[in-house]
Structure 1
Amino acid sequence: MDPVTADVPTPGAPGAPAAAPVRPDGRRTRWAEHRRARREELVTAALRAITTHGAGLGMDELAAAAGTSKTVLYRHFTDKEDLYLAVARRVNRLIVRELRSAVERASSPREALAGIVSTYLGLVEADPEVYRFVVSHPFGATARDPERDPVQRLTRALADETARTLTAHLRAAGAADTSADALAHGLVALIRSAADRWICTPDRIAATDMAAALTDLAWGGLSAVLARPADPARPAPEEVP
């Protein structure tokens, strides 16, 4: 037994004094908020530097382009991976927010798919260097822990959003929706792979043209496998004797 606390009544026990409310340390709270704000400022500076100078910047170049030093960066980020993850999380939040806004305006599964494709490609084209920075894992980040990989997390977020949208539209139309989740993940893999290849093509076509072509390709496959309500006017397939 600890001799210092042996005779101190346990809080809440009979005869024990009521525990005094714990007041937050104002200075500590202000300092934590300052550090959080400073981290966000450095993430913004890093994004601007990547946009201007390209996805291949190292930590020294990132610090210089951001108008600070590598020592300051390491004061707010534990290592290169921490900075990479902070940048990737910011980009992921933007993409998911814009995609949700796009699908909320859709009135049909095809329109929702077109919104997802056009929004994603538009964001990629708007800042291709930042996109390359995120998907290329420039500092070897997350190699030891795939669950922390922001690219995989973004892919799952896109697929989940696509699945929710498709499922809602399918249910409203009276169609079966049991395959929507798996189909959505397949569609997102198609969209991401196409976007990665397209953005690296020097003479690439416009984002609007690529979005239209990719939507046609994806919808052609999706519409062929989605279950539809039975159509009385459609003849039933002949039974095999």
Structure 2
Amino acid sequence: MTQARWLGRTAGNLDTDMSVIRRISAKPHQVQKRVFDARNTRWDDHRLVVRAELSDAAVRAIDKCGQGVSMEDIAAEAGVSKPKLYRHFGDKAGLYRAVGSRLGTMIWESAELTLQDAGSAPSVDEVFGSLIRSYVRLVAKHPAVVRFLISHKMFQYSVSGDGGAADELRSIVEILAEQFATHLRTIDADTSTVPIVVASILGSGLSATEWWLDGGAEQGVDDELFIAHLQDTTWGIVEAASRRLGVDFSRDRSISDVGFVTRR
């Protein structure tokens, strides 16, 4: 109900306290702002729920239809009209970004569960292996979605944070990298190469993922071999950087162990 209609209705009521009207009318722009804000925030939670449901439907549609998925396919999977998709995402690019964000959330949630299940003090090698395994299993579960995001430049390493689903991967790697950097600081070792190591791990891993999806699996590189390759490659990058710094990281120690890093 607008302010004018409300005041009109109130004015017709002889029992209305005129002081209330005067107080409200004294600052009409503030009343209008409160009404506007309420109207615009009332359904925020509902919109978020609907967007999440539509994003999940888009993931399912891409799983089924692959690269040729259309807005009609996604709308049909979601059980809604195309206009509703556009209303919530603006355009195709907006929906594609939402799909990338949804896969990124899956990657993050999978990593969280993996770390929670890893035990109280697993070795760094075990942590790496568990995280890589959870990532590969997710890629193997949604290969069409990953291919779709790769084709739309939404699954790549990006310093700016515009890499789509890969942003969550970067966050996970950076969390671990900061633990390595903390240990390096305790022995006054240089940490300037840590960002290069992060970029190298992500770049090689994402490139290998694209190769694996494009035919590597058909060439005999199954899940287990691919997991082993990513783990070896990750450690190869870390160890190459550690040699240059004149330090050693003990793969069989917990990352919380004070003896995890030593000088050569």
Q: Deviations over 1:76-112 (max 9, x none)?
A: 1111111111111111122123224435636333333
Could you say which residue in structure 2 is the equivalent of 1:83?
95
Q: Give 1:48 shift.
A: 1.2
Q: CA distance change for structure 1 residues 55 and 113 in 2, over 3 Å: closer, same or farther? A: same
The letter for the 2-side match of 1:222 is V
Report the TM-score when normalising by structure 2. 0.65
Is the aligned partner of 1:182 residue 2:181? no
Q: Separation in 2 of the partners of 1:115 and 1:168?
A: 22
CA RMSD of aligned residues (A): 3.3
The correspondence for 1:215, drawn from 220, 231, 244, is 231
The letter for the 2-side match of 1:121 is V
Is the aligned partner of 1:47 residue 2:59? yes
Q: Is the 8 A contact 2:197 2:241 kept in 1?
A: no
Gaps of 5+ in 1: 1-16, 141-145, 232-241
The correspondence for 1:128, drawn from 143, 161, 177, is 143
Q: Separation in 2 of the partners of 1:54 and 1:164?
A: 37
Q: Provide the identity percentage.
A: 33
The correspondence for 2:263, drawn from 225, 230, 241, is 230
Q: Separation in 1 of the partners of 2:86 and 2:151?
A: 22
Report the TM-score when normalising by structure 1. 0.70
Q: Is the 8 A contact 1:113 1:162 kept in 2?
A: no
Q: Separation in 1 of the partners of 2:141 and 2:167?
A: 21
Q: Give 1:126 shift.
A: 1.4
Could you say which residue in structure 1 is the equivalent of 2:14?
none
Q: Is the helix fraction higher in 1 or 2?
A: 2
Could you say which residue in structure 1 is the equivalent of 2:164?
150
The letter for the 2-side match of 1:35 is R
> Number of residues paired by the alignment?
207
Q: Is the 8 A contact 1:100 1:161 kept in 2?
A: no
Q: Is the 8 A contact 2:61 2:77 kept in 1?
A: yes
Q: CA distance change for structure 1 residues 217 and 75 in 2, over 3 Å: closer, same or farther? A: closer
The correspondence for 2:104, drawn from 92, 115, 121, is 92
Gaps of 5+ in 2: 1-26, 155-159, 249-261
SS in structure 2 of the partner of residue 200 of structure 1 = helix
Q: CA distance change for structure 1 residues 119 and 170 in 2, over 3 Å: closer, same or farther? A: farther
The letter for the 1-side match of 2:180 is L
Q: Separation in 2 of the partners of 1:103 and 1:191?
A: 20
Q: Is the 8 A contact 2:132 2:231 kept in 1?
A: yes
Q: Deviations over 1:141-196 (max 9, x none)?
A: xxxxx754415634532442342243356668x58361333212211211111111
Q: Is the 8 A contact 1:60 1:70 kept in 2?
A: yes
